[in-house]
Amino acid sequence: MAIALLVRSAANRVLTEAVEVTIEADARQLSEVLSAGGMSALQLAVGEKSRHSSGGVYLLLDVAGRRLAGNIQERPASFEGGSGAGVFRYRLAGRQGRGAQPDEERLAAGIQLDLDGGGTLVVGREIESQRQLLSSINRSLLFGLGAFAVFGIVGGFLLARHILARIDAMSRASQAIMAGDLAGRLPRNGSGDELDRLAEQLNEMLARIERLMSGLREVSDNIAHDLKTPLNRLRNSAESALLDARGAPAWREGLQRTLEEADDLIKTFNALLLIARLEAGSIAESFETVDLAEIARDVAELYEPSAEEAGLSLAIITPPSVPTRANRQLVSQALANMLDNAIKYGVRQAGSPSVAGPGILVALDAEGDTARLSVADRGPGIAEADRKRALDRFVRLQPSRTKPGSGLGLSLVAAVAQMHNGSVALEDNQPGLRIVLSLPLAAGPLSVANSDPNRSRARNASEHGHSD
Amino acid sequence: MRVLVIEDDREIAHFVAKGLKESGNTVDIAEDGDTGLETARGTAYDVLVVDRMLPGRDGLSVIQILRAEGNRVPVLILSALGEVDDRVKGLKAGGDDYLTKPFAFAELMARVEALARRSAPEESTTRYTVADLTLDRLTHKVHRADQHILLQPREFRLLEYLMRHAGQVVTRTMLLENVWDYHFDPQTNVIDVHISRLRGKIDKGFERPLLHTVRGAGYTIRDSAD
């Protein structure tokens, strides 16, 4: 609308200026004729212009007001009595004008000059065609605007209806999801436009929530199961001791068993709480500069006799030093859990092909900005499909659950990794399981001698006197 | 031994007091921080057992004030908060040992005894002897009945800790904390296997065993003829 008005006023201004310039030029030229040749020369010139000029409007009157020359009949009414300028209506005199009816009234702009020595000259310019052009522009603009408005309204209505229909569909889908259909997803049309992308992102969010929910459900199922079983055992041992006819000695035994069961429950709760705290990231301020190689050697040394008792040799390969920022207790505990797992499940299967090398290998290497601390065994390993699940809370892949343990060991490793911005991977050791704990190395230059790994087999380490 | 228990949970306070009394100790109980602080100032105790969370003045503040006043009484902190940095904060405040609830009484008893004994000037001792077993802290040599025994560094530290607390019960957790500096529960019986290895070196082939298992509590090294 604003643009249409602008076009109209610009057109008007250009035309008006052109008219003014022409009128002034005409008037100046006629004034020069008067100065040079007097009234009779002017009369001739006006007569000439009146016959040949197209669009020019002229009238020359003598002192008495009689018409001497010109192409209009009479002086415009607005110019009576004195000089002036303005817009006026006129009728053509005689046969002038191209295709115009003689009696047709037309619009002109002009000036009136009082001549030296009496007489009056009116010089003007017909602006009827300009008026018609302007009104034609007006009509076009109005029509354009109208069409524009109609198309805009109709198009906008259709577009809005289309978008609203899609939003409506999304709203219905989300209501179904809110009503409990967690598998539901928002509809997509595949166009890749903003709405489609929004639906895609919301669907990804829903998928993640669904995974978390099912994980949570699994965890609470497992918690219920894993805490109910020892509680049952605890209750049974207390009851059977109480019913035992032997009296005091049986009570003592029963209480002893009850205590052991209670201790196991407490351990499970402690592990759960620790994992929850690690996942909340609340103890990141406890990081210090530690040497991962030293941690690996120390924990391997702690577990080496237990591994040997289980019939497994334990070897360690590590560079002399791998310094990084970490929580020593938690990384040690993670490695302890990895070794605990290897000792429990890493016993070679009967009939499996014998492989050279140690039963359990602890390896540490630093590459780029990551340290990889791994524990590999030669046991049955974990099927690829189960590997991800093995890191979940309370998941114990052996359905019988005969081995002691809370099912939280590897979840804690995962939580420790996450807290250190690292990761855990379960890999195929061909045969066996390799658990890899990757931790980011401290920024800055490190004195890591990768090229010369200090290989030592703990079980074969020669005995020597204490020397520190 | 005279012990002050500052603990607002009456059940835990009486559980601890009962056990300590049955072992022949004198026990006082304070139920809040300010009373505990006043009681500790007025009497010479061998050990304080202080709960971290107390009504009014909290446990750590009680310990800090006592330490600022020059009171060196050994303190065992009890806490429901057992994570890494909680322990560090507790020890920084001036506590000597830290025990997480819930705990076995045997664990608390062993730690209280170790703390009470600790006030003796042990650091100047260069040689521990139990029956015919000797450990020299300067030369790092161990002998039994004039026979030199070769130990790995960690085995030496394990024996050193046991002999420093000769005659006392030492729990698995105490060994894990003091010999390995680990403050977590290693699930499997890793300590038992280390003890059995050590036993194989110092007791095997000798008539009288010195390293004993205390059922439901831990280990002790002592001359069984005592």
Residue A333's closest CA among A394, A282, A275, A398?
Answer: A275
Instruction: Count CB-CB contacts under 10 A for residue A104.
Output: 12
Q: Is B29 helix (H, G, I), strand (E, B) or coil?
A: strand
Q: Chain B, 55-114: which have a CB under 8 Å from a chain A CB? A: 82-85, 88, 100, 102, 104
Question: Phi, psi (5° rounding) for residue B205?
Answer: 90, 0
Q: Is B208 helix (H, G, I), strand (E, B) or coil?
A: coil
Give the integer Cα–Cα distance in Å for B101 and B81: 8
CB-hemisphere CA count at 13 Å for B88? 13
A468 interaction partners in chain B (CB closer than 8 Å)? 153
- Rounded to the nearest angstrom, the minimum Cα separation between B7 and chain A is 21
Quick: pLDDT tens for B117-152.
875 555 678 899 999 999 999 999 999 998 999 999
DSSP letter, residue A324:
E
A306 interaction partners in chain B (CB closer than 8 Å)? 188-190, 193
DSSP letter, residue A220:
H
Quick: pLDDT tens for A273-330.
888 777 776 665 678 899 999 999 999 999 999 999 989 999 999 999 999 989 898 9
A259 interaction partners in chain B (CB closer than 8 Å)? 104, 216
Does the predicted interface ipTM exceed a cut of 0.85? yes
Collect all residues from A whose CB is shorter than 8 A from any CB in B: 256, 259, 263, 266-267, 270, 274, 277, 283, 285-286, 298, 301-303, 305-306, 308-309, 327, 329-330, 332-333, 336-337, 340, 343-344, 404-406, 409, 461, 463-468
Burial class (CB in 10 A: 0-12, 13-18, 19+), A242: exposed
Q: At B194, which helix (H) or strand (E)?
A: helix B190-202
Instruction: Report how far apart, in Å, the C-alpha atoms of A123 and of each of A19, A88, A119, A126, A200 are.
Output: 11, 12, 13, 10, 76
A303 interaction partners in chain B (CB closer than 8 Å)? 190
Q: The pTM is what?
A: 0.64
Q: Which two tokens stand for residue A300?
A: 């391997």
Q: Which two tokens stand for residue A21?
A: 């310039």
B103 interaction partners in chain A (CB closer than 8 Å)? none
What's residue A27's pLDDT? Answer: 86
Q: Is the pLDDT of residue B212 over 90?
A: yes
Contact B203, B210 (CB under 8 A): yes
B89 interaction partners in chain A (CB closer than 8 Å)? none
Q: Is A126 helix (H, G, I), strand (E, B) or coil?
A: strand
Q: Which of A282, A288, A306, A466 to mutate to test the interface with B (most CBs of B within 10 A)?
A: A466
Q: Is the pLDDT of residue A97 over 50?
A: no
Q: Is the pLDDT of residue A132 over 50?
A: yes
CB contact under 8 A, B187 and A409: yes
Question: Phi, psi (5° rounding) for residue B168?
Answer: -100, 160
CB contact under 8 A, B193 and A309: yes
State which amino acid sits at residue B215: R
Residues composing chain B: 226
Burial class (CB in 10 A: 0-12, 13-18, 19+), B7: buried
Q: Which two tokens stand for residue A27?
A: 């008037």
A468 contacts: CB under 8 Å, gap ≥ 6: B153
Quick: pLDDT tens for B180-197.
999 888 877 899 999 999
Closest chain A residue to B198, measured at CA: A305
What's residue A33's pLDDT? Answer: 85
Contact A255, A395 (CB under 8 A): no
A239 contacts: CB under 8 Å, gap ≥ 6: none
Closest chain A residue to B148, measured at CA: A465
Q: Which two tokens stand for residue A273?
A: 């709480």
B140–chain A Cβ distance below 8 A for any pair: yes
CB contact under 8 A, A301 and B193: no
Q: Which two tokens stand for residue A238?
A: 């207390």
Closest chain A residue to B175, measured at CA: A302
DSSP letter, residue B209:
-
Q: Which two tokens stand for residue B193?
A: 């296997």
A441 contacts: CB under 8 Å, gap ≥ 6: A322, A324, A366, A369, A370, A371
The β-bridge partners of A157 are none
- Rounded to the nearest angstrom, the minimum Cα separation between A305 and chain B is 6
Mean pLDDT throughout A101-109?
72
Q: Which two tokens stand for residue A101?
A: 């009816």
B189 interaction partners in chain A (CB closer than 8 Å)? 306
Contact A305, B198 (CB under 8 A): no
